[in-house]
Chain A
Amino acid sequence: MEALIAGIQNATAAGPLLAIAAGVFVGIFMGAVPGLTAAMAIALLAPLTFGLDPLTAVAFLIGIYKGGTFGGSISAILLNVPGSPEAAATAFDGYPLSRSGKARQALQMALFASVAGAILADLLLYLVALPFSKIALKFGPAELTFVVLFAFTFVAGLTGRSMLRGMTACAFGVLCAMVGLDPMSASPRMTFGHVELLDGLPLLPIAIGMLGLAEVMAAAERAFDRRRASPDTKSAPISSSSGPGLSLPVFLSHWKTVLRSSLIGTAIGALPGIGASLAAFVGYGSAQRYSKTPEKFGQGVLDGVAGPEAANSAVVGGSFVPLLTLGIPGNVTTALLIGTFLVHGIEPGPHVFKTEPDLIYGIFTVLFIANFANLAIGLMGSGLYSHIVKAPEYVSYSIIGLTCLTGVFASTNSLFNLYIMIIFALIGFFMKKFDYSFVAFLIGFVLAPEFEVSFRSFLLVAQGDLVGFLMQRPIALLFCMMTVFAVVRIAWSEHQKRAVSSTTTPSQSEQK
């Protein structure tokens, strides 16, 4: 208890508070600019903190981490260019909202959902960090196989209007994820002699190409059509207004989505090796799955923004569970944080709770305060950025196109990734034209590598006795049963939908 109070006192001193605010500000900026990520900001700025006291240093970096996670959604919503990979799912509904004149609402929904998700995750970290870290250790290949398989069922609803086309797109995503070194035999697959492809196709260039640049191409096509119809039309803005802000009651009416996604995000954050992008997709998928109007997803619904944003922000709190309790970083950003801890002579792990309780509670408090800093700084900005949508299309789309190119190049310093982005922009453009869901594609692409490694390891470990092995692993068995249940439910509701649509007029579902 004393340690708790001391921790809170230390964290609310001027130094850490300033550091949090500065960190959040930098983080939002780095997150919002495509190509710059929070991880990069931490890598670049961590050496600056070596001279500070440990808590202030950690406060600054946590501020960047939290601000960056929200910041990625800004460019995803306004420009359809995800500022960071985990914001890709936010663009699915965020950008359509901007186009329909609700940019501010979408931005504030992203902000509120992010903050709420993060607060919830931090609370959970506070309460269950130690017991949960013990459970997380039990997640081996068998467990991860079924967790990922279960995650697949969440996104089965995201296939667009046609299940067959959705599955095709998803399968294509899985195929693209197979490029690179085979995880077992290390023989190259589909690399066509390119060294750059040995690590597989990178997510960010693909997401930016399919979402951002493909949209620029679609806009160019629309403008061309308009000009042909009447040569002297002026270029219109993306939307004539950025709309009003989000009122608190409206936000609260989405509490179910926020709560569900926060739990998903926290759990995924606490598990080893599964990242924030996957959490965001699962958050989006589950929001759609439990929505009363699932067919409206992709056309601009607030739930479609709240789902992924609450989930990817909750990952931050979740990822501190293994970081603080076991000293195991779950992703790049927390790995960088560990490096900073070590520089300050802190060795994260179970013993830290005993040796430096002040510091641990100080970090918990910093995590909390950073959420409110995020809220305040995010709110100040959201009114301002949302005016971007009122710029004429020829201005905004030129900027979007340029941002796609510079963003991809800046993030990897590689022309090769630029070509990949352009290729996938073309693919994305035609997928959109022929109504193949790029959401389904991206989900297949993100989930497949996790599934492949876990499943093949599971097969090896089980030594041919899959059922017998599964019986010894209760957690895996639980997820296996949940997966089966989910699949049966989806099949049943599809069946019912068919039964209903065959009795009503089919014209409704054909409308664009």
Chain B
Amino acid sequence: MFDKLCRASIISAIVLSLGGQAVFAEDYPNKPIEMIIGFKPGGFSDAMARKLSEPLAEALGQPIVHSYMGGAGGSIAATAVKERDPDGYTVVVATSLTFAFNPHQGEVTYSKDDYDYLLTMARFETSFVSLADKPWTDLPSMLEHAKSTGMPLKFGSLGPADRLQAKAISEATGVTIIPLPIKGGANMMQSILGGHVDFGLSGGPHIKYVQSGEMIVLAASGSEPLNATPDAATMESLGYPAVSYNSVIAAPKGLPEDVKAKLESALLEAANSPEFQKLVQGRHVGIPPMGADQTASSIDTISATMENVIKGSGS
């Protein structure tokens, strides 16, 4: 009797555990998924994440819970997510620079290899812009002008990555570029309109000024053409280091293959949904969403570019 019972329980235990194993991926997700947003609530990254979550929750059949860990360009959120279990129940919303550039700065405790990349949902219209009434029309003619007049160029910088780009330009052409740190896109517009900088980096607020004819785009900061001003040259086509500012979703490294596949396809489906596309295209940041492999390779490319610039400039 006891023997039978014992055997039965052992068998059932084996069956249960096997079943549990087998059921895991089938079963995923069986509880809410936490989406950690690496920015303060209310910004455009937050708006995108929230919009994406509606179709995502539908596709996965589980609610998406948002928490905010803003600061240090997404690095605070990325640091926290690295420590989480790679079970598919935690994802982080950050930018390509969070993963591809910030680790080169040396102060964060993660590297780009600590994550499984899942989705690139949008690309910011990050570009070098200046006033339209300057004696130049694009980046090369501005540099030519600066060379011929010997005038140093005042450059409005939003962060260390664009300063490295400016440094690379300066080293390649011999033009003196003075980077001035400016906090946020709105202040950048003020500085450009007020003539306090000759050109500056902008992630989107310049578009309406370009459309009204007050500003021009000198070059796209990345390797892909822009949506609002597709004719502008890219940094890559001009032969300078390119940095694309993408909105990226990642998870801690080591997701089970089937969980990763399921999550990736749900994210892609959500990013392709009409309501999400309406939001991003309205703000000129829409791109065909990129899945796991494409996102990972774009992160690798940007990371390698920045590494070369840092090595080249000796800092």
Contact = CB atoms under 8 A, between A and B. Distances in A.
B44 interface: yes
Contacts of A420: none
A15 interface: no
B109 interface: yes
Interface in A403-423: 412-414
B71 A328 contact: no
A351 interface: yes
A506 B304 CA distance: 69
B160 interface: yes
Nearest to B71: A199
A332 B181 contact: no
Interface string A161-197: 0000000000000000000010111101001010110
Given A140-B191, A322-B190, A460-B178, A43 B46 contact: yes
Contact of A186 (B46, B108, B159): B159
Contacts of A461: 154, 178, 180, 196
Given A186-B159, A327-B208, A339-B44, A140 B187 contact: no
Contacts of B186: 272, 328-330, 335
A40 B41 contact: yes
A232 to B, nearest CB: 49
Contact of B79 (A141, A195, A339): A195
B193 interface: yes
Interface string A322-334: 1000111110100
A39 interface: yes
A139 interface: yes
Given A195-B79, A272-B187, A347-B208, A414 B193 contact: no
Interface residues of B, number: 42
B212 A137 contact: no
A196 B190 contact: no
B69 A414 contact: yes
Interface in A310-364: 322, 326-330, 332, 335-336, 339, 347, 349, 351
B309 interface: no
A226 interface: no
A199 B194 contact: no
Contact of A191 (B44, B107, B189): B107
Contact of A413 (B44, B67, B181): B67
A137 B193 contact: yes
A138 interface: yes
B157 to A, nearest CB: 9
B285 to A, nearest CB: 13
A305 interface: no
A1 B44 CA distance: 37
Nearest to B176: A463
Nearest to B68: A413
B107 A195 contact: yes
A457 interface: yes
A199 B70 CA distance: 10
A196 B76 contact: yes
Contacts of B112: none
Interface of B (DSSP majority class): mixed
Contacts of B40: 332
Given A186-B160, A326-B190, A460-B178, A198 B75 contact: yes
B260 interface: no
A453 interface: yes
A244 interface: no
B270 to A, nearest CB: 18
Interface in A128-142: 136-141
A428 to B, nearest CB: 24
B76 A273 contact: no
Contacts of B195: 140
Contacts of B68: 413
A42 interface: yes
Contact of B181 (A184, A272, A335): A184
A44 interface: yes
B204 to A, nearest CB: 11
Nearest to B194: A137
Specify which of B108, B181, B194 lies most central, judged by the most chain A CB atoms within 10 Å of its CB.
B181
A332 B68 CA distance: 16
Nearest to A194: B107
A273 to B, nearest CB: 5
Nearest to A333: B42
A330 B189 CA distance: 11
Contacts of A351: 212
Interface string A189-230: 001010110110000000000000000000000000000000
Nearest to A47: B50
B31 to A, nearest CB: 20
A137 B196 CA distance: 9
B41 A43 contact: yes
Interface of A: 39-40, 42-44, 46-47, 136-141, 181, 183-186, 188, 191, 193, 195-196, 198-199, 272-273, 322, 326-330, 332, 335-336, 339, 347, 349, 351, 412-414, 453, 457, 460-461, 463
Given A193-B107, A326-B190, 12 more contacts: A43-B41, A139-B190, A185-B160, A188-B107, A196-B71, A196-B76, A198-B107, A328-B187, A332-B42, A339-B44, A457-B180, A463-B178
Interface of B: 40-42, 44, 46-47, 50, 67-72, 75-76, 79, 105, 107-109, 152, 154, 159-160, 163, 178-181, 183-184, 186-187, 189-191, 193-196, 208, 212
5 nearest A-B pairs in the assembled complex, by CB-CB distance: A43-B42, A140-B196, A186-B160, A137-B194, A198-B72
17 contacts: A39-B42, A43-B42, A136-B190, A139-B190, A140-B191, A140-B195, A185-B160, A186-B159, A191-B107, A198-B76, A326-B189, A328-B187, A328-B189, A412-B70, A413-B67, A413-B69, A463-B178
